[in-house]
Amino acid sequence: TLKASNGYAPLNDDFDNFYVRRLKMRLDDCFARPTTGVPGRFITLMDRKSTDFNRSYQFTGTYTQTLNVSSYNYLGFAQSEGPCAEAVEECVRKYGLSTCSPRGDAGTTDLALEVEREIAQFVGKPAAMVFSMGFVTNAGSFPALVSKGCLILSDELNHASIRIGARMSGAVIRSFKHNDIEDLERMLREAISQGQPRTHRPWKKILVAVEGLYSMEGTMVDLPSIVALKKKYKFFLYVDEAHSVGALGRRGRGVCDYFNVDPAEVDILMGTLTKSFGANGGYVAAEKHIIDKLKSTNAATLLGESPAPSVLMQILASLRIITGELVPGQGEERLQRIAFNSRYLRLGLKRLGYIVYGHDDSPIIPIMLYHPAKIAAFSHEMLKRKISVVVVGYPATPLISSRARFCVSAAHNKEDMDRVLAACDVVGDILQLKYSTGVAGGA
Ligand code: PMP
């Protein structure tokens, strides 16, 4: 039991804590264990054993290599060999590991400027800015874009970094139903004074914030419909492409590329560099005057450490592989592989009888477990078959909407996908997860 150090209620005495503590004891034993080595096609886990009733764990001194469908390594750039690794190695020798300074002081390297120029070009915006963390890119950018007197309309499933950034801005925040264009339009109509749809009164600015691809659902934003609404209601649009840049679109340039929408229609294209680029950090791409303002007012970069040079080199090298500049044809090949693997695994899981969430082209593939007791069990059964998969439950999802989430990568091949499907076939029977009657032929 918890003890209250102040004589009243313990600081963490609430339902969330009760639930999370109880469940966490079991969840700690899931896939979420220390890893070692590259989170690539395979991932190596540290083996451990429970030492007491409260499930404290001890490293047993052995390791297990598992097939990795748990990392956001969409294009397979998380690797320790090949052209990216060579470029990074050379970079460390030239630049060392850290700039030991924020951007505002001596932390702006020539590499940072190069990355910003190439990212802007890649996503189709005039300018861009890099940050040392994806989370901070959102958390730091909203307060630089909107303030008190502004309105943010945010998809209810937006990532915590967006919600925290929005809160820190001081703007009023309203959430619309996930991916529900009618609900968004209803809110816009309500927000804008009657008869004056082209002004933002009584709001200084209205900013609509969405994600390109939602990582808990595998759903994709309905960008064409939001852009149509934007033309009608004249709001500003912020799209977080953490999971879509590199992973979606014919040329891997994200949701604008996927839907053939002109990037000029989106005011802010934000993304992280931790997923498709196998690096670290985030970026914001926009008109030059917006980037200039972000650079001069964003506390996170003015006062926080700049991205490490070696990380910037990883971004440059992977970006140049995607565009075909560094290794002709390899980018295209990676994009084709992730697209094939995503559709193949999704369809296979549906055929087995799983309830699969999300868009057909999403490389994030959530299957529904529903019952919280099945979270740890599914993870265990997959681990027994040497497959690492992320399992998710409350509070990240509603209480009875627990799920497992496969992250497909260009580093995988068809054989890997077949191995996941064979394991899911058996585990689905053991845990009674085949809730649907299956799909004959189609998606
Ligand atoms: N935005 C979204 C939509 C995310 O899913 C995440 C993290 N997965 C972030 C921002 C934060 O990025 P990072 O992990 O690179 O800090």
Q: Which amino acid, 126?
A: P
Q: What is the pLDDT of residue 441?
A: 45
Atom 1 (ligand 1) nearest CA: 242
pTM exceeding the 0.90 threshold for the entire prediction? yes
* CB 406 within 8 Å of CB 389: yes
Residue whose C-alpha is closest to residue 246's, from 171, 377, 326, 337? 337
Instruction: Quote the CA–CA distance of 415 and 256 in Å, as a whole number.
Output: 31
- Token output for 278: 């196998």
Which CATH code for domain 83-323? 3.40.640.10
Burial 252-287 (b: 16+ CB within 10 A, else e): bbbbbbbbebebebbbbbbbbbbbbbbbbbbbbbbe
Please report the atom of ligand 1 found closest to the CA of residue 161.
10
Instruction: Quote the CA–CA distance of 411 and 45 in Å, as a whole number.
Output: 18
135 lines ligand 1 (CB under 6 A): yes
Residue whose C-alpha is closest to residue 268's, from 256, 278, 277, 250? 256
Q: Which amino acid, 362?
A: S
Burial of residue 179 (CB within 10 Å: 0-12, 13-18, 19+) is buried
Please report the atom of ligand 1 found closest to the CA of residue 158.
3
Instruction: Quote the CA–CA distance of 284 and 344 in Å, as a whole number.
Output: 32
Note the pLDDT tens digit of each residue in 176-228: 999 999 999 999 999 986 555 555 568 999 999 999 999 999 999 999 999 99
Superfamily of segment(s) 15-68+333-430: Aspartate Aminotransferase, domain 1 (3.90.1150.10)
For each of the chain's 443 residues, which pLDDT tens digit applies?
A: 556 667 766 666 666 666 665 565 566 667 778 899 999 999 999 988 877 666 677 888 899 999 999 999 999 999 999 999 999 999 999 999 999 999 889 999 999 999 999 999 999 999 999 999 999 999 999 999 999 999 999 999 999 999 999 999 999 999 999 999 999 999 999 998 655 555 556 899 999 999 999 999 999 999 999 999 999 999 999 999 999 999 999 999 999 999 999 999 999 999 999 999 999 999 999 999 999 999 998 888 888 999 999 999 999 999 999 999 999 999 999 999 999 999 999 999 999 999 999 999 999 999 999 998 899 899 999 999 999 999 998 888 888 999 999 999 999 999 999 999 999 999 999 999 999 865 544 44
274 lines ligand 1 (CB under 6 A): yes
Instruction: Quote the CA–CA distance of 251 and 293 in Å, as a whole number.
Output: 30
Per-residue DSSP letter, 249: S
Instruction: Quote the CA–CA distance of 290 and 33 in Å, as a whole number.
Output: 41
* CB 341 within 8 Å of CB 73: no
On the CB side of 169, CA atoms within 13 Å amount to 27
CA of 213 to the centre of ligand 1 (A): 11
CA of 347 to the centre of ligand 1 (A): 27
391 three-class SS: strand
Q: What is the pLDDT of residue 303?
A: 87
Among 73, 159, 390, which is best to mutate for testing ligand 1, by the most ligand atoms less than 8 A from CB? Answer: 159
133 lines ligand 1 (CB under 6 A): yes
163 three-class SS: helix
Domain-wise residue ranges, the chain: 15-68+333-430, 83-323
Q: What is the pLDDT of residue 266?
A: 98
209 lines ligand 1 (CB under 6 A): no
